[in-house]
């Protein structure tokens, strides 16, 4: 098998994407740590719970929505429980399952943290792009996601805000 090397244009695009993948998480994490005392992943867990019915999800569903392993998620949820932001309890429909629910303090934390997070997302991504580039970014991300998530297991997460059902 011969290697299909990247040409100059492809390599240039790849190196830039790799730099974004390395730098953006740190920038978002730094803002949340500084302003909210949360890691980006902790905020993400709280945000997913904040959007769920009754602010509650089964741990397995929360793991799928955050693309986390159950051990990692359990560790983070335990830390959030220690801060009274989340509570766990047996699932009423299936005693073998555990639910996680946002506490009132957790709901307050999400509402307090969201404006700063949105400002950071705008600063580092949205406001540096034209409307046309945002449309292109959406299409580019969909193309990449088609190979990373071919079965659409996480499509509910990244398609939930699509403006039209045909996307």
> Is the predicted pLDDT of residue 164 greater than 80, yes or no?
no
For the segment 62-120, what is each residue's pLDDT rounded down to a tens digit? 999 999 999 999 999 999 999 999 999 999 988 889 999 999 999 999 999 999 999 99
Binning pLDDT at 50, 70 and 90, where does residue 167 land? very low
Which CA distances in Å does 6 have to 1, 76, 114? 16, 39, 39
Q: What is the 3-state secondary structure (H, E, C) of 44-86?
A: HHHHHHHHCHHHEEEHHHHHHHHCCCHHHHHHHHHHHHHCCCE
Which CA distances in Å does 160 have to 19, 139, 157? 27, 15, 6
How confident is the model at residue 76, as a pLDDT?
97
> Is the predicted pLDDT of residue 58 greater than 60, yes or no?
yes
pTM value surpassing 0.85: yes
DSSP element (H, E) containing 101: strand 98-102
Residue identified by tokens 């073998």 is: 96
Structure tokens at 112: 């307090």
Residues 6+ apart with CB under 8 A from 157: 65
**CB atoms closer than 10 angstroms to residue 32:** 21
DSSP element (H, E) containing 90: strand 86-90
Residue identified by tokens 């949820």 is: 77
How confident is the model at residue 154, as a pLDDT?
82
Structure tokens at 89: 């309890």
For the segment 7-53, what is each residue's pLDDT rounded down to a tens digit? 999 999 999 999 999 999 999 999 999 999 999 999 999 999 999 99
Instruction: Show the domains of the chain with their CATH numbers.
Output: 22-113 (1.10.10.10)
Q: Do residues 87 and 62 lie in contact, with contact meaning Cβ atoms separated by under 8 Å? A: no
Give the C-alpha separation, 115 to 122, whole Å: 10
Give the C-alpha separation, 25 to 118, whole Å: 14
């Amino acid at each position: 098998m011969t290697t299909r090397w990247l040409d100059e244009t492809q390599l240039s695009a790849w190196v830039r994407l790799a730099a974004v993948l390395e730098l953006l998480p740190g920038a978002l994490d730094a803002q949340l740590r500084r302003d909210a005392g949360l890691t980006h992943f902790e905020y993400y867990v709280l945000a997913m719970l904040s959007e769920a019915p009754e602010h509650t999800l089964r741990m397995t569903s929360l793991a799928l929505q955050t693309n986390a392993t159950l051990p990692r998620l359990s560790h983070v949820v335990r830390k959030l429980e220690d801060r009274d932001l989340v509570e766990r309890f047996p699932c009423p429909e299936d005693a073998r399952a555990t639910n996680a629910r946002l506490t009132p303090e957790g709901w307050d934390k999400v509402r307090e943290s969201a404006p700063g997070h949105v400002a950071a997302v705008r600063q580092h991504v949205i406001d540096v792009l034209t409307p046309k580039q945002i449309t292109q970014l959406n299409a580019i991300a969909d193309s990449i996601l088609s190979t990373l998530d071919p079965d659409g297991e996480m499509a509910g997460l990244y398609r939930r805000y699509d403006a039209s059902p045909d996307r």
